[in-house]
Amino acid sequence: MVIILVEDNPVNQSIMKKILESNVKNALVKVIGSGEEAVKFFNNKANLHFNLIILDGNLGSKAINGPQVAEAIVKTEIDAPIALWTDDKAMIEIMEEVFGRALPHLDKSPINKSNIINVVKSILEPTTEPTAQRRMTW
């Protein structure tokens, strides 16, 4: 099971990777460290075999931030569940507007291990097939 984590903070990357790989069965976390890298990754059709995207809304880049990554995901018609990783209510609203639907979100400050595990498992437990083999309806 592949989880894509889009997060620019190295400490948060390490913590999230450890939480997810230790607590979600067969999880393999691929970390993408910037908005620019995320847009490039999602635009490459060869990379579209994953089960979940966890997207930080505030990526610390003025050029490509969370909403711009969200727009790239929408434009490439990626059909995968997405969870937002932010406590910024305005950012949540912006991201949900971009995606056109409400999205589950993970508590970021402080990092809440049980929240992360519960939200991710609730998204992944209905099916764990790679995105290329299924159609999600949200």
Domain that residue 94 falls in = 2-133
**Residue 20, CA atoms < 13 Å, CB-side half-sphere:** 25
pLDDT of 23-78, one tens digit each?
999 999 999 999 999 999 999 888 778 999 999 988 887 788 889 999 999 998 88
Q: What pLDDT is stored for residue 125 in this prediction?
A: 80
Q: How confident is the model at residue 135 (pLDDT cuts 50, 70, 90)?
A: very low
Query: What's the token pair of residue 90?
Result: 């305005």
Give the per-residue pLDDT at 126.
66
Question: Would residue 28 count as lying in a domain?
Answer: yes
Is there a contact between 90 and 66 (Cβ–Cβ < 8 Å)?
Answer: no
Q: Is 3 helix (H, G, I), strand (E, B) or coil?
A: strand
Would 104 be classed as within a structural domain?
yes
Percentages helix, strand, coil for the chain (3-state, rounded to 5) are 45, 15, 40
Residue 138 resides in a domain: no
Residue 91 in any domain: the answer is yes
Look up the CATH number of the domain holding residue 27: 3.40.50.2300
Decide if 76 contacts 106 (C-beta within 8 A): no
- Mean pLDDT of the residues in the chain: 86
Structural domains counted in the chain = 1
